Amino acid sequence: MRAAPVGQTARVSAIAWIATGSLAAWLWLLLCQGFFWRTDVRLPHRREPVDWPSVCVVVPARDEAAVLPASLPSLLAQDYPGRAEIFLVDDGSSDGTGDLARDLARRHGGLPLTVGSPGEPPAGWTGKLWAVRHGIGLARAREPEYLLLTDADIAHAPDSLRELVAAARAGGFDVVSQMARLRVESLWERLVVPAFVYFFAQLYPFRRIGRKGTRTAAAAGGCVLLRAEAAERARIPDAIRHAVIDDVALARAVKGSGGHIWLGLAEGVDSVRPYPRLGDLWRMVSRSAYAQLRHNPLVLAGTVAGLALVYLVPPAAVITGAVGGDTVTAAVGGLAWLVMTGTYAPMLRYYSQPLWLAPLLPFTAFLYLLMTVDSAVQHYRGRGAAWKGRTYTRPDAVPDEG
């Protein structure tokens, strides 16, 4: 048998070592990253309070006429035993969002609705948070015990508010947030959306978020029940007025001021916004991806390298090992790919998607890698992060989130 050339042996050996590093990373993620891959973190134990506290629902909305008919009636129809009121903030819409909201309230009835308009945000405020501030200001006159911050594209089950408040009261939480179930109907949504939630949970393991004394903090902006007293203590939203990733910044501010927070997967909270094309999903991710990395090129480089090692190396090792006859490299890469696939399967089941999508996670991760790089490119071209047509180019647009 002819021996392989020395250079080829060294090259294959290097690939095998890289694949081993990827496998080690996956074993660490599997066992030591808060069991992020499990999907059983749902609303905690709850019991109905004796006295139901008052709640004001704040909905920032900018050019949301396309989704309001599928979302706002679900808020109006909330079956809540206490006093509740909705404040929709029409933030400079050009599609009649405010008038449509009033019309829906007249036709559907239910909870009282007030539509406000904050005017143009001053320097130093991102658009959505300026709208939230205006809504909280309107709500303050009602002296609510809780604020429900929810997006205009979120539909709630009739008992959603009731369940959120019961969970907050029973657990003594200052924030109870649910990661809304995003739409998965088009091919690209099936490929990209479950992975979006999977990656988020990997960065912010839900189990750690709910523990006191840990630094891990996050919320999902589509559904955040916030104790009004905790909001004042943490100076929400003024303290996070620069934030592009406002939900994570809010959670960190509340937890940093001594609050107890909780985040889990949704039950009866769904996004109705469609992302039928890859371009739609691309814009959703790249809008804030580089802000998540604090606009730091070194962090970007480390993120790209980490994504490549964790997600791209396993299939590359399998292919390289199979072609080159290196069974060790192929086996190590295959085992890493298998662990990856196994951790992704629960999220696919949560989204009622076929499990054959799980081995395609490296392809989806490669798309996210490109989206992250594109986010950085757009930032350095002066386009920055954006919300509904408003662009923020300041390099300090996101506060230091520790």
Mean pLDDT by 10 residues, the chain (402 residues): 48 82 98 97 89 97 96 98 97 95 97 94 82 95 97 97 96 97 96 97 96 93 96 96 90 96 96 95 91 92 97 97 92 98 98 97 98 94 64 45 31
pLDDT of residue 310: 98
Contact 187, 273 (CB under 8 A): no
pLDDT at 397: 41
User: By the 8 A CB rule, do 262 and 210 touch?
Assistant: yes
pLDDT of residue 400: 33
- Peptide linkage before 118 cis (omega within 30 of 0): no
User: 115, 150, 140: which is closest to 250 by C-alpha?
Assistant: 150
Question: Between vectors from CA 193 to CA 190 and to CA 194, what angle results, nearest 5°?
Answer: 85
Sign of the alpha-carbon torsion through 71, 77, 78, 82 = positive
Backbone angles phi, psi at 316, to 5 degrees: -65, -40
Surface-to-core class of residue 283, CB atoms within 10 Å of its CB (0-12 exposed, 13-18 middle, 19+ buried): middle
Cα separation, 200 vs 182, whole angstroms: 13
Q: Which residues contact 329 (CB under 8 A, 6 or more apart)?
A: 12, 15, 16, 19, 317, 320, 321
* Per-residue confidence (pLDDT) for residue 6, from 0 to 100: 47
